[in-house]
Structure 1
């Protein structure tokens, strides 16, 4: 069932599916997600960790030793730590960010949740975030988790991507439409 989801295809999808099934069987889906989210946050915050994960220069042994130290310091253990070590031993640690995303998608599907990628010009207040979640829930019938990205270049409005649907109500897009209409009219 989970392997049919197009958002979890390829090598990262196979690893994420295997991890998800193991975590589900042991009733630790949320704990593993929390560990992977923590590792993902560490990865995005540390240039050294990114280099360790992505660089083919490091041997599997060197990667494994360094990763073990990082996991110990972060308090990540159990299935999550073993899984990350398997990725390292199989020389697939470079795909860890994609695996984390795919695992998150599997968890959301399992829980009947949807995830929307939202781009805004400036950070939204909690009130506006709640209103957006409620609006998306009324459309999808599911609880919707938001991945919010701030991009001042859209000037105003927002861009929402939910599954294969995208709604672009950004001011930048509206201005570009007007610009093109004026060129065609002239």
Structure 2
């Protein structure tokens, strides 16, 4: 991890903790959940928003005005809108993706859920995702939310990460292991 990424994560964790505590005290966890999901999908879908978050070309005022407009358009809660305004005024909008990731983890913990990051070669069907979630729930003892990523380079199989545990059944890793074994023999 680069030093900048570590700093961003640290900043994001402090802001996320504060936002989560404010939402919990105000009994606004549900609205925080919907705000986090909405912002997460907006960042994923909008290259303009991603540029606004990371580009040094925008002034504080431009970033503040844009984030205020985004918050109003998305009908975000006051808490989330205030955090976005604060991040813009401090020129820390670049930490928003990490902040959302930390908040997602905190919200999942609050619900008693565990998030499994699953990488597949092809998108899982609803049946496959449900079966995987059921299997992981039996192993973990908690409800499991699947966050799926498609990466065709793994050829087939799955890579499942839950917390610090990782299960790699991808064909690409098996081929690499076979290649390494053959190098040792020859």
- Could you state the TM-score of these two structures normalised by the residue count of structure 2? 0.91
SS at match of 1:119: strand
Aligned match of 1:78: 78
- Count of aligned pairs: 179
Partners of 2:108 and 2:60 in 1: CA distance? 32
Partner of 2:136: 136
Q: Root-mean-square deviation (CA), in Å?
A: 1.4
- Mean alpha-carbon deviation: is it higher for 83-92 or for 146-155? 83-92
- Any stretches of 5+ residues in structure 1 without a counterpart? 1-7
Deviations 1:157-184 (A, max 9, x none): 1000011110000011111111111121
How do 1:64-143 residues align onto structure 2 when only pairs under 5 Å count? 64-143=64-143
Any stretches of 5+ residues in structure 2 without a counterpart?
1-7
Q: TM-score, normalised by structure 1?
A: 0.91
SS of residue in 2 equivalent to 1:161: strand
Is 1:59 the equivalent of 2:59? yes
Runs of 4+ with >3 A deviation: none
Residue 174 of structure 1 is matched in structure 2 by: 174
Kindly provide the CA deviation profile for residues 79-118 of structure 1, in whole angstroms up to 9, marking residues without a partner as x.
Answer: 1111111111122111000000001111111221111100
Q: How far off is 1:18 after superposition?
A: 0.3
